[in-house]
Amino acid sequence: MSLNLSALVRHRGDIFGGATAAIVALPLALAFGVSSGAGALAGLYGAILAGFFAATFGGTRTQVTGPTGPMTVVMALVVSHFAPNLTAAFMAVVLAGAIQIAFGKLGLGRFINLMPQPVVSGFMSGIGMIIIILQIGPLLGQPVPEGTVLHKLAGVPMMLAHADLQALLLGAISLGIMLLTPSAVARIMPAPLLAIVAGTLVAVLLTPAVPVIGAIPSGLPSLQLSWISLEEVPYVIRFALVLALLGAIDSLLTSLVADSITRTSHDSNRELVGQGLGNMASGILGGLPCAGATMRTMVNIRAGGSTRLSGALHSVILLAIVIGFSGAASRIPLAVLGGILVKVGIDIIDWRFLRRIRRATGAGVVIMLTTLLLTVLVDLMTAVAVGFVMASVLFVSRMAEAQIHSARFSFGAERISDLSPEEEAIMTAAGGRIVLFHVEGPLSFGSARAIAKLIQADIDKDVLAIDMSDIPFVDGSAVSVLEEVIQRLQEIGDAVLLFGARPPVVNLLEKAGVVQLLGEKHLLKTRIEALRLAREIMSSPAAETG
């Protein structure tokens, strides 16, 4: 008995986190199920099945998985395309899960770590603002308008005009408990769970007419797999790819958010495998496609969840609610949940970045605010894509500038400190007719044109020897530009030598035909070899054409 009690005490935070996340997830799962066209139970069983498998096998300890807005939007398109044959729609969910598992096994999850911080910050703050906006209706006792976030904002005046003061009072009580609960009390009972219990008791005793979650459907899932026609296969594959990519990005972004709050580090590839297993289980039993849910993950963390147990318990509690406690949960006022979620939204906003926005770089601020606005006003995928492209272009531009500044010409021995006596003698004897060109860093499309202009500068020379020893790799654009440069210099009678190139760079130059254009004799391993050949070229016109 004491062992059981000690285990409960040890996992108290996970139990409270899972319970609170389940209560918050319940109305969301129902709403997403209905809006997808697959039915309320599809939303519930998506949260139960995907939530359990992703928590158990995933790579983010505190993440809660369930139906999300972006995934539900795509699923609604899938359902409408295949209706009334929902078997094909659920097959797309199963295949999406299998694709996510393949992503994880191939190690593609590591690329999410390349997401720039301003993009993550804008995404976090945008999600926080969306959560707050979505709670305006429940707090005022009014239904949330259909459509985009802009449509919901446009409906605020009407909701204010018909506000239910009793619902507003419950929402204020709930939010007040979330904001003011002392830490000593929160250690015993987390604020979200306290707000749900207190708010529901007040509603039952004093304000029974306020809107509540309402009747929760119950029932066990059934297998959804069966044969589909060949004509449907291409569409199943297409929708599965979209769901897999969207779910992977959605989940891994939420993993980054969880990392930033808990100061931990998730395993992206393992998370993709866990998400894939969850979506396969969900699709097989008729559930919605799911992803890591930022809102529910934050609720879990804030309530004390710190291990995989919390996410798994969230699913078990949801299943218990569906099977045996749907009557009690149906009486929870929506305004109480609204107050809890407003606090969650406030916590998700990246206030640290906003507080130091005046000291941040101008480009970082623009990227963050652009991502934030697109998250709120357009959609998550567009916001992340635009923010990532902006940050990537900025990075490439800065790398190109740094590479151009590192480039240098050497016409004589006096500008090079590490020449051997033989190299110094060759350079001195050439009288500036042999030019060494050195550049550092990756040669890519961002810097290739600028480097080409430098190489083709109007410099009186006979031989240009390009030092590639500090170039770790080149991309296709840079190879094409290098080919053009060699051709133009050869046309005006200048010999071009390349030396010090690393094996991967040499392989790429050979595949692109640059080595053949240059002549294998003109591709050398060391500087002394290049200078000896340059001296030979200058002393023998026949050698120059060789």
- Give per-residue pLDDT as tens, 48-103: 999 999 999 999 999 999 998 778 878 888 898 888 878 899 999 999 999 999 99
CA separation for the pair 340, 500 (Å, rounded): 62
* CB-side neighbour CA atoms (13 Å) of 281: 20
Residues forming a β-bridge with 434:
463
Q: What residues does CATH 3.30.750.24 cover in the chain?
A: 407-545
Question: Residues 409-416: contacts with CB within 8 Å, 24+ apart?
Answer: 409/435, 409/436, 409/437, 409/454, 409/457, 409/459, 410/435, 410/436, 410/437, 410/438, 411/435, 411/459
Q: Where does residue 425 rank: exposed (0-12), middle (13-18), buried (19+ CB within 10 A)?
A: middle
- Give per-residue pLDDT as tens, 469-508: 888 888 888 888 888 888 888 888 888 899 999 999 999 8
- Give per-residue pLDDT as tens, 298-318: 889 988 888 999 999 999 999
Which of 276, 230, 221, 248 lies closest to 88 in space, CA to CA? Answer: 230
Band (pLDDT 50/70/90 cuts) for residue 3 is very low
Query: Residues near 206 by Cβ (< 8 Å), separated by ≥ 6?
Result: 166
Nearest 10 degrees: Cα torsion 12, 16, 19, 25: -140
Query: Taking 60 as the threshold, does the pLDDT of residue 428 lie above it?
Result: yes
Q: Where does residue 306 rank: exposed (0-12), middle (13-18), buried (19+ CB within 10 A)?
A: middle
> Global pTM?
0.71
Around Cβ 227, how many Cβ atoms within 10 Å? 7
Would you say 375 and 126 are in contact if contact means Cβ atoms under 8 Å apart?
A: yes
- Give per-residue pLDDT as tens, 253-292: 899 889 988 888 899 999 999 999 999 999 999 999 999 9
| Distance set, CA 217 to CA 43, 44, 66, 330, 452 (Å) | 11, 9, 18, 10, 68
CATH code assigned to 407-545: 3.30.750.24
- Percent of the chain residues past pLDDT 90, beyond the cut: 29
Choose between 113 and 363: higher pLDDT.
363
Total residue count of the chain as it appears in this document? 546
Residue 255 is predicted with a pLDDT of 92
Would you say 279 and 58 are in contact if contact means Cβ atoms under 8 Å apart?
A: no
CA separation for the pair 118, 351 (Å, rounded): 13
Q: Name the phi and psi angles at 188, rounded to 5.
A: -90, -45
Query: Taking 50 as the threshold, does the pLDDT of residue 543 lie above it?
Result: no
